[in-house]
Chain A
Amino acid sequence: MSAPPLAPPPLPRARWSRLARKELRETLRDRRTLVTLVLMPLLVYPLLSITFNRFLTTMRPAGEAMWVIAVQPAEAVDVVQRLLERGDRLLTRRETATRGAVENVPKVSLDATADAYGSVKQSTATVGIEVIFPAGPRESATWRIIYRDGELASSEAMLFVERRLAAVNERSWRERLVRAGLPQRPLVVSERSVLARARPASLSLAMLVPLILILMTITGAVYPAIDLTAGERERGTLEMLIASPVPAHQLLLAKYVAVVTVAVLTALVNLAAMGVTLSLSGLGTALFGGSGPSPTGVALVVALTFLFAAFFSALLLAITSMARSFKEAQAYLIPVMLLAISPGMLTMMPQVQLNGWLAVVPLVNTALLAREALAGNADLFWVAVVVGTTVLYALCALAVAARIFGTDAVGTVSHAQWRDLWHRARRTHAAPTLSQGLTGLALAFLMHYLLGNLAIVAADRSLPRLLIANAVVTLLVFLGWPWWLSRQRRIILAPTFSLRAPRLFPLLGALLLGVTLWPWAYELFRLAESVGLSPVGQSTLRQIEQLVRGLRSVPPWLVFAALAVVPAVAEEWFFRGFVLAWLRVRTKPAWAILGSAAIFGLFHVFSPTMLAPERFLPTFLLGIVVGWICWRTGSLFPGMALHLGHNAILPWIALHQDRLDWLWGARVGDATPPIAATWLAIAALCNVIGIALVGWRARPTLPSHGDGERDST
């Protein structure tokens, strides 16, 4: 019996700092890093600027009126026409005198309107001019230019009008000064945006900025992340590092600092290059409106770049630590990079807003917040949510990387082949190995998606057939697949799937919990809804209502079997059996339960037909409870009982909601009604009894950390 390993003493800060500096020095000396850090930004932005300018030029249809200027009132059209032409002449003269070139003036058509503001807002006019004639001869006329802030054409048209009127104003002012006795400011010009503080309704090129920043940060982080992990492994220097008496996680932390630094430097160089290019090319005004991006917005984008780099670097290190060569790491990272770009693409969709669950989706939240910050719409609450969750994700990714980095399982070569899947293993296992678990999860996800869609097609809009088809898919994916994989790889069923006959009281306790836990999930949903974190859209609600209506015409036994029995048996078999055992031999029970619950939650988020992030939290919490019961009782069956009770009670309530008025408390307005306090108290009491019954005379005997390593022949 060996003693537990001694905890390594923490590395002195000065030494750790030297360690990080060495990693950074080595990375920055590499010419390939310098290419992505300096050369790329210097080349990319001027090229992008030229492309944008070209794009904007080609967008203008030749020969047609380019801008429609709505003039209010109608009798002002002639005055506006005259003044714009005069301003045009003045500007042309001035431009020719000073720069020798004339501005490329687009065609303009003036439309008389009774509501310039409305015309611009409804996009029937590019820009509007509202003229308020003076009450007396000695007063100035007021001209209000109305435009859509953030929209390129409208902003350009506003500048077009403003410059011409300013030229006229200036000329007139001079003339009047000469003559004296007249007002010194004949025209008062002010701007009014119909979209002030509102979100742009159309695509704006400013939305590209987060995407570009994401791309550039990734570009900066990818190379050092691969080089400092898989690259070192390939060159043989990683073994020397791991052979030193510095704990692997401290070595990793030094590498992390180096990767984050390079990523942030790359992003900052990119930001600077972008800023310089935009201001020199004049694109800045066109993209961000007359005043350009606000300093606060820019500062927030810089801070978000740090945040994004911190998370993404940790993610990259977790992935590249698994690779044994540069090439292998690149292969792993390609799908990750493609996935990482998609949040940037989302920012280009104006209808996608930073709220609800999107605020906690990694990368998506940072990209959307960057967009909001640039538009000057960042809300402090969402800033806090995004920062908090991203820091949490970064820490999780770093913890995973620290577990993988330098482990012996990675420092070696895999000889596993696809055909091994079809051959029965010779050696038995008390729990799934690392790769068996990953294979099980990956193929279960794939099959769940493909077969789930197939089931929908096969059901042909018939709800009973859909229920049967879904039940078959659930059985195949979550029961059949892990059973087959375990048989092939000789994973012993009894310890892996906790196939131990349950005791009566824990079984009853779990069932009681199953039917009495839902009020808390319901109240949690209400709470999330009240703080705007649970945006179950109207379409989802309609789908649920439609489903409930449909269920009334389905035999109750089928509803019970398809929605309660089958998921309870099959999902528990997979998530608390296969997945929990896989994690349990690798980490402490608490982490294994949390991990299996998270995977359980994620499988419910990615349903075959839609993305349902709002399902994560309730299923995650349910997964924790069921995981705890499985660990506590050493048996899969009480968890199945809980799952069965939970899945049976929910459709029952939905089908009988019209007869359950006594259950609800006072409804306030249109909000979802709360559960009556009495029933909440009863549910709490039942929960306590259930937990006590489950915990009573418990005998946890799940495979524990290290068991999977043992020979079990």
Chain B
Amino acid sequence: MIRVVDITRYFEVGSRSICAVNRVSFEVHAGEVYGLLGPNGAGKTTTLRMILGLLAPSNGYAEVGGSRADENPQAVKRSLGLLSAGTGVYQWLTTRELLEFFGDLYGCDPDTTRRRIEELSGLFGIRELLDRRCGTFSTGQKQRVSLARALVHDPPAMLLDEPTRGLDIVGSKVIFDYVAHLRDRGKAVIVCTHRLDEAQRLCDRFGLLNHGSLVLQGTLEELRRETGCQSLTEIFLSLLAKLPSPDEASSHEWGSTERSDLEDSAP
């Protein structure tokens, strides 16, 4: 469903050129949840943005449902639902208006959108928020509205970037339960998260990013065999201990950086 091939992205920071994502390749099939894990600035968000076509790769490409973002961006965007780390909602719109608006953007007819709103509002417990303005919501409420927004067009694939940021345990559970539900419905899901315990329980396969490179990937069993560690947290920490520090990495011409949200131009 989602295929990432040798995707690479350079940024320029002042006089330095930095490789935020370096030749990353992986595949996510329908009905599979892929955990893209890594410390801050590892390149997770940049990878997701390139898959969606929001950022042009310097090299390589990403395919969603057979369409490439650089060739047919609208088809790729239509096939994906994005939940980003920020809980951006339109503060002057009600939840219903927001969901109807995004349904419209994705080309859903009004009846389908209304049906989806009913379904999703029940699922995420936001029915009582439907006719309230989003600006008055708590972080958790906004995150649930955002998830409903990402799902309103019922996409075959989902990109979830830190979906539980700012949520309490109950809120996080709702999200992870729904991700499992998505898998059961045959959706391809990529989850970027720091919650390694939840990721271990939820994801079918994992990709560990560090300094822009995919240093390890596979199922939990494969990772255990590779590292000799049991839990995902132990695997992750042991890997980080073995890898060069950012300073050492930057001694290379295309060293990665801690920040991946950098401009590609500088004076």
Whether A and B are associated in the same complex: the answer reads: yes
Is the CB–CB distance between A243 and B88 below 8 Å?
no
Task: From B12, B89, B106, B267, give the contact of A427 (CB < 8 A).
Answer: B12
Most buried by A among B71, B92, B93, B102: B92
- Give residues 240-262 of B contacting A (CB, 8 Å): 253, 259, 261-262
Contacts of B101 in A (CB 8 A): 18-19, 22
Is the CB–CB distance between A408 and B54 below 8 Å?
yes
Task: From A6, A30, A424, A433, give the contact of B12 (CB < 8 A).
Answer: A433
With contact pairs A245-B74, A417-B14, A423-B14 given, residues A434 and B88 touching in the complex (Cβ less than 8 Å): no
Cβ of A425 < 8 Å from any Cβ of B? Answer: yes
Docked CA distance A412–B54 (Å): 11
**Shortest Cβ gap from B161 to chain A (Å):** 10
Contacts of B262 in A (CB 8 A): 412-415
**Shortest Cβ gap from A565 to chain B (Å):** 31
Contacts of B74 in A (CB 8 A): 6, 8-9, 245, 247
Contacts of A4 in B (CB 8 A): 71
Task: Mark contacts of B2-26 with chain A using CB atoms, 8 A cut-off: 1 yes-contact digit, 0 otherwise.
Answer: 0000000011111111000000000
Interface size, B (range): 35 or more
With contact pairs A5-B70, A409-B264 given, residues A240 and B84 touching in the complex (Cβ less than 8 Å): yes
Task: Mark contacts of A679-713 with chain B using CB atoms, 8 A cut-off: 1 yes-contact digit, 0 otherwise.
Answer: 00000000000000000000000000000010101
With contact pairs A2-B70, A423-B15 given, residues A239 and B105 touching in the complex (Cβ less than 8 Å): no
**Shortest Cβ gap from A22 to chain B (Å):** 5
Cβ of A377 < 8 Å from any Cβ of B? Answer: no
With contact pairs A237-B90, A245-B106, A246-B105 given, residues A3 and B71 touching in the complex (Cβ less than 8 Å): yes
Most buried by A among B14, B68, B91, B107: B14
Is the CB–CB distance between A245 and B78 below 8 Å?
yes
Task: From A5, A238, A415, A713, give the contact of B73 (CB < 8 A).
Answer: A5
Cβ of A236 < 8 Å from any Cβ of B? Answer: yes
Is the CB–CB distance between B54 and A411 below 8 Å?
yes
Contacts of A435 in B (CB 8 A): 263, 265-267
Q: Which of B27-35, B55-63, B117-125, B195-203 participates in binding chain A?
A: B55-63
Is the CB–CB distance between A420 and B15 below 8 Å?
yes
Number of CB contacts from chain A to chain B under 8 A: 153
With contact pairs A26-B90, A239-B88 given, residues A420 and B14 touching in the complex (Cβ less than 8 Å): yes
Contacts of B77 in A (CB 8 A): 243-245
Docked CA distance A575–B106 (Å): 44
> Chain A interface mostly helix, strand, loop or mixed?
loop
Cβ of A179 < 8 Å from any Cβ of B? Answer: no
Is the CB–CB distance between A19 and B105 below 8 Å?
yes
Is the CB–CB distance between B88 and A408 below 8 Å?
no
Interface size, A (range): 35 or more
Contacts of A416 in B (CB 8 A): 13-14, 263, 265-267
Cβ of B183 < 8 Å from any Cβ of A? Answer: no
Cβ of A54 < 8 Å from any Cβ of B? Answer: no
Closest to B264 in A: A409
- Give residues 135-149 of B contacting A (CB, 8 Å): 149
Most buried by B among A5, A8, A419: A5
Contacts of A232 in B (CB 8 A): 88
Contacts of A244 in B (CB 8 A): 77, 102, 105-106
**Shortest Cβ gap from A710 to chain B (Å):** 8
Task: From B14, B92, B263, B267, give the contact of A29 (CB < 8 A).
Answer: B92
Chain A residues with a Cβ under 8 A of chain B: 2-6, 8-9, 15, 18-19, 22, 25-26, 29-30, 232, 235-247, 408-409, 411-417, 419-421, 423-427, 433-436, 439, 489, 709, 711, 713
Chain B residues with a Cβ under 8 A of chain A: 10-17, 49, 52, 54-56, 58, 61, 68, 70-75, 77-78, 80, 82, 84, 86-93, 97, 101-102, 104-107, 149, 253, 259, 261-267
